[in-house]
Amino acid sequence: MTRVGERLNWSRDVEVRIVIRRILSAYKNLLLKDYDPATGVIPGWLPGEFHARWIGALEQGRRPDIGYNPGGFYVRSYGAKGTAETKGANEKAKTGPNTDGDSPPHKKLRFRLVSFHDLRPGPEPLYLVDELIPVAGLVDVWGKAKCYKSFWCLDLMLHVAMGWEYRDRYVRQGAVVYCAFEGAHGYKKRIEALRRHYKITDDASVPLHVMPGQANLIAEHAVLIADITAQLGEVRPSAVVLDTLNKSLFGSENKDVDMGAYVRAAEAIRDAFGCVVIIIHHCGYDDTRPRGHSSLPGAVDAQLAVVRAEEVITVTVEMMRDGPEDIQVVSEVEVIPVGQDQNGKELTSLVVIPSDADAANRERQDWSRGLNIFHAALKFALTHHGETFQPEVGVLPVRAVGLWAVRDRFYATYAEAEESDAKRQERLRKAFNRALADAQKNNVVRVKHEVGQLMLWLPVRGEA
């Protein structure tokens, strides 16, 4: 009888091929009729060249089988269909270890319930920067244009990359990806200013990576994730900064659909790396709240407001999910020369440095937010507008300042959201009056009417 392989074209003679498949299938089923893969025994009729693949399938907990194609027989394997013991072993491999003692294994669930008994806080870290930036989630850092919010955030992220404490706050070290969607051309100068200010040597390892250029985050977040992964390899960033929202949103900040899609794109980055995603954002005509639809403030885990008065920056934690609020960081900026351009003109940039008011605020954490802001405003006003003042005859003169200067500084740093300017001014006035009364009660300030105005100054050391 002529062999099948010599007479048939397997790609054309479909009907003949079906008949032969049925014959071979019946033959294979006869061979495997009484075979139990749970025994781990190799069938005696199986040729030696197939033994290795057969054993490999058994070791993987799978069921070996005989397949065939025009080239002949071969060994294949698939999910176990053997004994109950084999099924249980495979089900356990799929669902993970059984943590319920002798109870039967559970199938893998999409929505898992956690019992009241098992909900207990553990030692897992809560913050990337203590009480300022959570270890994971979304953070909105917002403020007016040119309020130095990008400078402040870049300095903060350098502390994260280096693992340095930030203003006596614990920092969890990790790699940082800073997406400079806005003003990317200036980041070479900013990085050089940081390098010179902190005296970072050329051979130091600094896992802070700047990505210049714009992006359509909604459409390209998957590409961004893939590109970060390809370039960092096994390293996963602890923080990804999107600076700014406006330059990475191809849509309207005022539309719920566009802002909702942007939030989901940021969440995809968060989920891909298990990191915190910091979104730098502007305010609009209403400078008491972030610009655009409320989808963003409603989705973030923390919201930080940045306010600038001259060269002083005040960052306030407006909202921290499951954390303290009204924490403030007060900073100043310092000009740093970073080299020369091609014409020999000196190039400069700015670095953010601690302010005396920051240390004063953190020493008085038992004070109210209003009192902290008042104290910082008083010190600022004394530095910039203070004058020599003698409270009484025969008493040494002090440095004092008019009420107006302290009030203006207080208003500039005490963000209070209201629908109208009139309501906002009224709330600021009441907040300032409360803070002034609180400051007098706590011996924070001395006051005296003089020539039609109220003069304020700090108590002399040791004065009751």
Above 50 in pLDDT, residue 426? yes
Q: What is the pLDDT of residue 243?
A: 92
User: Percent of the chain scored above 90 by pLDDT?
Assistant: 41
Q: What is the pLDDT of residue 96?
A: 46
In CATH terms, is domain 127-363 a member of 3.40.50.300?
yes
For residue range 296-317, list pLDDT tens digits in order: 888 999 999 998 887 889 999 9
**pLDDT band for position 323 (cuts 50, 70, 90):** confident
Q: Is 322 helix (H, G, I), strand (E, B) or coil?
A: coil
Q: What is the pLDDT of residue 91?
A: 47
Where are the domains positioned within the chain?
4-84, 127-363, 375-457
Q: How many CB atoms lie under 10 A from the CB of residue 416?
A: 14
**pLDDT band for position 88 (cuts 50, 70, 90):** very low
Q: What is the pLDDT of residue 72?
A: 63
> Please, are residues 302 and 139 in contact by the beta-carbon 8 Å criterion?
yes
Q: What is the pLDDT of residue 28?
A: 64
User: What value does the mean pLDDT take over residues 187-216?
Assistant: 93
Above 80 in pLDDT, residue 113? yes
User: What value does the mean pLDDT take over residues 340-358?
Assistant: 87
Torsion of CA 390, 393, 395, 401, to 10 degrees: -10
Can you tell me the distance from the alpha carbon of 364 to that of 359, in angstroms, rounded to the nearest whole number?
9
Q: What is the pLDDT of residue 69?
A: 61
Q: What is the pLDDT of residue 136?
A: 95
Q: What is the pLDDT of residue 58?
A: 75
Axis-axis angle for helices 187-197, 149-162 (nearest 10):
50
Axis-axis angle for helices 421-441, 403-413 (nearest 10):
120
Q: Six-digit token pair at 342?
A: 């091609």
For residue range 4-44, list pLDDT tens digits in order: 444 444 444 545 555 666 666 666 666 666 666 666 667 76
For residue range 126-157, list pLDDT tens digits in order: 899 999 999 999 999 999 888 999 999 999 99
| 224 vs 76, residue with greater confidence | 224
Above 70 in pLDDT, residue 422? yes
Phi and psi dihedrals of 257, rounded to 5? Answer: -65, -45
CB-count burial class (<10 Å; 0-12, 13-18, 19+) for 65? middle
- Classify strands 328-340 and 312-320 as parallel, antiparallel or unpaired: antiparallel
Q: What is the pLDDT of residue 65?
A: 74
User: pTM (2 decimals)?
Assistant: 0.58
Q: What is the pLDDT of residue 128?
A: 96
Q: What is the pLDDT of residue 37?
A: 63
Can you tell me the distance from the alpha carbon of 238 to that of 159, in angstroms, rounded to the nearest whole number?
12
For residue range 429-459, list pLDDT tens digits in order: 899 999 999 999 988 899 998 878 899 998 8
Angle of CA points 195, 198, 204, to nearest 5°: 60
Closest C-alpha to 319, from 276, 275, 289? 289
Collect all residues with Cβ–Cβ distance below 8 Å to 348 and sequence separation of at least 6.
189, 193, 335, 336, 337, 338
